[in-house]
Amino acid sequence: MADRRPARIAALRDSLIAAHIDGLVITSLPNVRYLTGFSGSSALVLVTQRDLYFITDFRYDTQVGEEVGDLATIRIEQQSLWTGLWNLAGSLSGLEVVGFESSHLLHRDFQRLLTDGTRWQWRPQVNLVEALREKKDADEVALIRKAGEMAISALKKTLGEVRPGLTELNVAGILEKALRDQGSEDFPFATIVASGPRAALPHARASTRVIEHGDLLLVDFGAQYKGYCSDITRTVVIGPASEEQRAVYDIVQQANAMASKSVRAGMKGQDADGLARRYIEDRGYGDAFGHSLGHGLGLEVHEAPRLAKSVETLLGEGSVVTIEPGIYRPGWGGVRIEDDVHLAPGGPEILTDFTRELLEVA
Ligand code: ZN
Ligand code: ZN
Q: What is the pLDDT of residues 265-281, one digit of tens each?
A: 999 999 999 999 999 99
pTM (2 d.p.): 0.96
31 alpha carbon to ligand 2 midpoint, in Å? Answer: 20
Q: How confident is the prediction for the chain on average, in pLDDT?
A: 96
What is the pLDDT at residue 117? 66
144 alpha carbon to ligand 2 midpoint, in Å? Answer: 14
Q: What is the pLDDT of residues 242-254, one digit of tens each?
A: 999 999 999 999 9
Q: What is the pLDDT of residues 182-218, one digit of tens each?
A: 999 999 999 999 999 999 998 889 999 999 999 999 9
Ligand lying closest to the C-alpha of residue 151: 1
Ligand lying closest to the C-alpha of residue 294: 2
324 alpha carbon to ligand 2 midpoint, in Å? Answer: 7
Ligand lying closest to the C-alpha of residue 233: 1
User: What is the identity of the amino acid at 41?
Assistant: S
The strand pairing partners of 333, in sequence order, are: 329
All structural domains of the chain: 5-133 (3.40.350.10), 138-361 (3.90.230.10)
Query: How many angstroms separate the CA atoms of 179 and 74, rounded?
Result: 35
Mean pLDDT, to the nearest integer, of 293-301?
A: 98
Give the pLDDT band of residue 289 (cuts 50, 70, 90). very high
Closest alpha carbon to 222 in 162, 302, 167: 302
Instruction: Find out whether 237 and 214 touch, Cβ atoms under 8 Å.
Output: yes
Ligand lying closest to the C-alpha of residue 203: 1
301 alpha carbon to ligand 1 midpoint, in Å? Answer: 9
Query: How many angstroms separate the CA atoms of 279 and 206, rounded?
Result: 30
